Amino acid sequence: MKKVLPILILLAALIITAAIAIGVKRTKTVDWRESFNEKSTKPYGVSVFYNELPKLFKNDTVRTVYHTPASYLKANSENGYGDHVAKGSFIIIGNSDYLDDESIDELLHFVDTGNTLFISDYYFSQKIHDTLQIDVHYSANKKDSISHLSFENNNLKSTIIDKNVGVNYFSSFDSINCHILGYVKTDEKHVNFIDVPFGKGHIYLHLEPKAFTNYNILKDDRYKYVEGVLSFLPENDVYFDSYTKIQSGYGDAEKKSNLSWFLEQLSFKWAWYTALIFTLLFVIFNAKRRQRIIKIIKPLPNTTVAFVKTISNLYFDTQDHKNLIEKKITYFLEKIRTDYNLDTSVLNDEFILKLASKTGKKKQDVNTLINYIKLLKSKKEFFEDNLIILNKHIEAFYSK
């Protein structure tokens, strides 16, 4: 033990020196990923907007929805088992591509009975496009990275969005029934905010979710634009969608652990790691002092299944959804090229028509799958639901 003590002291000194050096030299980088998480204080989280909702709707109740609209609205319907009947405005900020047909149908029914749906996102689910007869296009900023947002009503405050490489706008919509509420301007002026009457209620579609993020609300007086957008919503209860923002693998809400906050603090993190290292060293050196257990040599087992489980667990633990999504898309397109001798370099309408013809699938089903693959290829951040929806579309393609 006397020989081990100097080694432990040396290791401790090295760890403390490394911690001090990293603490001095480390420059904290800013995370600019667009999470639209209501708990996130990062630039493109929406914690400020989320915390201000009770003040903006101070006479009403603001509820956070941690489940899909299909399950939540059914549970809180007149014949449901929830604790109230859902009435008011359902708000979705970013990451709305998880909405499946069942959830969209439930949201449309919610609006049809006299309620309000507000979605701010770059694109919407295909069923929303088809039902409301809208199309969304993208335009890159040619001169700079600044987009100008304004309202049809000049009394409402306009604003700008910087760090914007491009904008999305409504290329077509029902100009007779829809009402134009706002515009986006880079090189040209386009419509990016509309009101679509639906049944007894209204659907508000907005194409710049970054306007609701912490960075833009806290910069200068840009919050006034958000107030202008929300002024179109009726004074009623608010349901804030959080299904894709913070959830477990089973779709239930989960809160950030207390340990994660400590690990974000550099001093606490190194103290924690140091304690773990010393614990490990203690176990190692203490184990050497005891008689080793004689191992029982077993015949080599067939480890094929175990290997597959290990690889799957590796992907599951790392939560590398982007890697899995890219591999599934690559494998699917390779199989299309092999089985049907089709060129998959351009996934356009002609390709969809040829694939539907050769496979005997419905054109609508093929169109939904290919459009979702194109959407995923354009995204930079991925969530578990993106992988689940992609897998569901691919399995449906092969099963029919």
Q: Comparing 225 with 339, which gets the higher pLDDT?
A: 225
Give the Cα separation of 14 and 11 in Å (integer).
Answer: 5
Question: Which of 6-10, 225-229, 291-295, 339-343 has the least mean pLDDT?
Answer: 6-10
pLDDT of residue 209: 96
The CA–CA distances, whole Å, from 370 to 31, 96, 113, 213 equal 31, 18, 33, 30
**pLDDT tens figures, 93-107:** 999 989 999 999 999
Q: Are 99 and 249 in contact (CB under 8 A)?
A: no
Amino acid identity at 361 = K
Check residue 133 and report its DSSP letter: T
Share of residues in the chain with pLDDT > 70 (%):
80
- Once rounded to an integer, what is the mean pLDDT over residues 367-390? 80
Nearest residue to 355 (alpha-carbon basis) of 365, 248, 52, 309: 365
Total H helices, total E strands in the chain: 14, 11
pLDDT of residue 251: 37
Please say if the pLDDT value at position 253 is more than 50.
Answer: no
**pLDDT tens figures, 133-191:** 999 999 998 888 899 999 999 999 999 999 888 999 999 999 899 999 999 998 889 99
- Once rounded to an integer, what is the mean pLDDT over residues 115-133? 95
Nearest residue to 371 (alpha-carbon basis) of 387, 352, 386: 352
249 HSE (CA, 13 A, CB side): 4
Q: Calculate helix-pair angle for 321-340, 349-359, nearest 10 degrees.
A: 60
Q: Are 384 and 321 in contact (CB under 8 A)?
A: yes
**pLDDT tens figures, 38-52:** 999 999 999 999 999
The domain segmentation of the chain, as residue ranges, is: 47-241, 319-399
Number of other CB atoms surrounding residue 340 within 10 Å: 13
Confidence of residue 375 (pLDDT cuts 50, 70, 90): confident
pLDDT of residue 255: 43
pLDDT of residue 254: 38
Confidence of residue 74 (pLDDT cuts 50, 70, 90): very high
Question: Mean pLDDT score of the chain, rounded to an integer?
Answer: 83
Q: Are 218 and 210 in contact (CB under 8 A)?
A: no
Please say if the pLDDT value at position 257 is more than 60.
Answer: no
Nearest residue to 113 (alpha-carbon basis) of 73, 173, 163: 73
Nearest residue to 111 (alpha-carbon basis) of 202, 232, 223: 202
pLDDT of residue 368: 86
Give the bridge partners for 193, in sequence order: 182, 206
Share of residues in the chain with pLDDT > 90 (%):
46
Please say if the pLDDT value at position 342 is more than 70.
Answer: yes
pLDDT of residue 16: 64
- Once rounded to an integer, what is the mean pLDDT over residues 279-306? 70
Instruction: Kindly state which CATH superfamily the domain 47-241 is placed in.
Output: Class I glutamine amidotransferase (GATase) domain (3.40.50.880)
Please say if the pLDDT value at position 53 is more than 90.
Answer: yes
The CA–CA distances, whole Å, from 374 to 209, 348, 380 equal 20, 10, 12
Please say if the pLDDT value at position 289 is more than 80.
Answer: no
- Once rounded to an integer, what is the mean pLDDT over residues 285-306? 69
